[in-house]
Structure 1
C-alpha cells in the first residue's frame, strides 16, 4: 500500500507545498530544502494541495 506525505519545501519564492508518495520517497529523503513532512491518512491523501496547505500551513519560525 502506498503511503502519502504532505511536504513543505523551500522554493525560489518561499515555501511550496508538495505531495509525495512512499513509492518515490527514497529519492527525496536526503533533500536539504524540506521544511516539514507530514504523513497523510487515506482521507487526507485524496485532498488537493490547496486543501492540505490550509489544514497544515507552513510552520512559522520564531
Structure 2
C-alpha cells in the first residue's frame, strides 16, 4: 500500500511544499534540502498541495 507525505523542501524562492509517495521516498531520503516530512492520512492524500500546506505548515 502506498503511503503519502507532505514534504517541505528548500526551494529557490524559499520553502516549497511537495507531495511524495512512499514508492519514491526511498530515493529522496538523503536529500539535504528537506526541511520536514508529514505523513498523510488517506483522506489528506487526496487533497491538493495548497490545502495540505495550510494543514501542515512548516514548524516555527
Normalized against structure 2, the TM-score is what? 0.95
How many residues in Structure 1 have an aligned counterpart in Structure 2? 60
Normalized against structure 1, the TM-score is what? 0.93
Gaps of 5+ in 1: none
Question: Cα deviation per residue 1:2-60 (whole Å; 9 max; x = unaligned)?
Answer: 00000000001000000000110111000010000011000000000000001111222
Correspondence for 1:37: 37
Structure 1 runs, 4 residues or longer, greater than 3 Å off = none
Gaps of 5+ in 2: none
